[in-house]
Chain A
Amino acid sequence: MTDILLFKDIDEPGLNTIDVYERRGGYRALRKALQTPQADLVDQLKGSGLRGRGGAGFSMGMKASFLPQGEMQKYVVVNADESEPGTFKDRELMQKNPHQLIEGIVIAAYVVGATKSFIYIRGEYQHQADVLDAAIAEAYARGYLGADVLGSGVDCELTLHRGAGAYICGEETGLLDSLEGKRGNPRLKPPFPANQGLFQGPTLINNVETLSTVPHILELGAETYAEIGVANSSGTKLVSVSGNVQRPGNYEIELGMKSRDIIYGLAGGPPEGREVKLWFPGGSSSPVLTKDDLDLTYDFDTLAKSGTMLGSGAIIVVDDSQSVVDVCEKLAKFYAHESCGKCTPCREGTNWTVKMVGRIKDGTATPMDLDIMASVQDRIIGNCLCVLGDAMAMPVGSMIAKFRGEFEAEIEAARERRERAFMAEVAA
């Protein structure tokens, strides 16, 4: 079974140019798609079982089928605002194989009947944005983009839009507001973007990896693609492994691989003499797992059953030389900084969590504070417009639940440090 699609020959020199991409069979899937009725393509996408690769894992075919039929202006928006800590797969895809993404966008735009498409790329990815801009210009010149794509009568305009550094713009409705030139505040859902998205028009929003997979599904055929991976998690997935591992990087895996084989086999495991203490299976927003969970298979359903999620496919490994309290503090500070401030539970809850972790570290906390932290999490989850607050609450809650002893030891140790410092001051 093939387990390399997206990353096939990714390091081939010049793969980012249209000549090399076409020579390797690029844009063949687009030609095929343009001669297929849209309804058939939606069925193929549904049949392939492709689930969104950005974090939520929602069926891409279903999402495409939610867009209304009719003559109104529709849009395709590509979420390239890859800001989830630990995730860097889209960066490599866009930098090394931009035409694969463009081909996927044109196919998706044809499927839903959108004539305008936008790629929203995070502002920090300046080199990747330059590569994409050059690739878009090449695709226009060859007639894959613009009016009357390849003589099919289909129009497809594509524009690259650079963000300016805000994690919340990776949330789909926050991204839409940012693309409309406002602050990136998420919107109330429903209405979902499929009905009222960009400029209030029906909008299909997908992640870079999801759209890059679309040409491969049409090339292989939906049934063949659905056979890759395991039930309900079909296909290949890019995983970004980072943290305390010997060979950090992006790896393309067949879904359903054993997590141990990814962390130890592909990424080389923690440095010599160290052990895995905890790991985030799907970016920093996913509840943590421990070394006892390394034998779980890496797919959507298994991880969901274990109380966590596959998320964006970013595995962050923390080894036993690190303090879980420090990791918790970094995490809480990140979400407090990135909270857009629109909903009170998230804006206040993230900041109070930072303060409480700070109290643990400066020795003014009591073990009761851990329960207060847990209760703050209960008040955030499900009470905001988007899941940014939940994304802090869940991993922090899971760290306290799984490493409570270590938190309590740190509270005690910090209190002693503080008392000793105070006594030294009095004595001086």
Chain B
Amino acid sequence: MTIDPSQIARYDHGSRIPGWDDAADLEKDPAGIPDAASTPVPEDLRVEIEAAIAPFGHEHRRSAAIPALYAVQKRYGWCTPEGIEQAACVLQVTPGELTAVATFYDMLETRPVGRNTVYVCTNISCSLCGADELLAALRAEVGDDPDFNLRGFECLGACDIAPMASVNGDYVGPITLDEVPALVAQIRAGEEPLPARQLTARRSADPKAAGSDA
């Protein structure tokens, strides 16, 4: 895909980038640590984040940033600005510090997504075994179902079951193209995805590993 810059409209201020002429409001204070009195945090979220801080201790509480954002994502479906504000309040860091983390990692969502997470590995080993076709077939089968968060993903560390997908955290593979409709139907129905193809059911490939002294 090539983008022709001349086809992108310019704004009145002459740039193609929105907000180019908006001056930063220098009077405004930078966002500080949210005030506990004015930031209501749901009790279960607070408990979960405080449990994540415990192994690190108060001094290194920022280490709990990723678990805290996972907790926010679990509760609200994605890392909402309000959720980040609440987590920042419990962690006693600025919301900006958490936003920086949320935007860095692939598994933290910074916009609303469907509740069924399906990552299809499209890295070298999987694509040699047909992962791009698998992703296309899944895309076609899922269509515009808003319940799905279907993404091509970098190597998921399961090249032995290529082509594979991580369905709500369960590794499934190898998936053939004829199994795609059944898989999508199972995900829609909230059933176990292709139970016989799950990684947990797979035995080691190494012949020596199969009970050498048994």
Contacts and interface: CB of A to CB of B under 8 A. Distances in A.
Contacts of A340: 104
A397 to B, nearest CB: 17
B116 to A, nearest CB: 15
Residue in B55, B70, B124, B161 with the greatest tally of chain A CB atoms within 10 Å:
B124
A295 interface: no
A200 B211 CA distance: 45
A258 B172 CA distance: 32
Interface in A199-258: 199, 240, 242-244, 247-252
B157 A125 contact: yes
Contact of B154 (A83, A127, A161, A318): A83
Nearest to B166: A124
Interface stretch (A47-55, A173-181, A301-309, A346-354): A173-181
Nearest to A180: B63
Interface stretch (A8-16, A35-43, A141-149, A419-427): A8-16
Quick one: which of B62, B107, B125, B155 has the most chain A CB within 10 A?
Answer: B125
A362 interface: yes
A251 B206 contact: yes
B160 A181 contact: no
Contacts of B203: 11
Given A124-B119, A162-B67, A199-B60, A249 B107 contact: no
Contacts of B211: 9, 11-12
Interface in B190-214: 199-200, 203-206, 208-214
A92 B162 CA distance: 15
Interface residues of B, number: 56
B160 A164 contact: no
A159 interface: yes
Interface string A145-178: 0000000000001010111111100000000001
Contact of A92 (B60, B64, B124, B204): B204
Contacts of B93: 181
A165 B106 contact: yes
B105 interface: yes
Contacts of A182: 62, 65, 97, 100-101
B204 to A, nearest CB: 5
B180 to A, nearest CB: 21
Interface stretch (A101-109, A326-334, A383-391): A326-334
B59 to A, nearest CB: 8
A266 B208 CA distance: 10
20 contacts: A4-B209, A4-B212, A7-B208, A11-B204, A11-B209, A83-B157, A85-B123, A90-B157, A124-B157, A127-B199, A163-B105, A181-B93, A182-B101, A240-B160, A242-B160, A243-B125, A249-B160, A249-B206, A330-B124, A334-B154
Interface of B: 2, 55-56, 60, 62-67, 69-70, 93, 97, 100-101, 104-108, 119, 122-125, 127-129, 153-162, 166, 169-171, 199-200, 203-206, 208-214
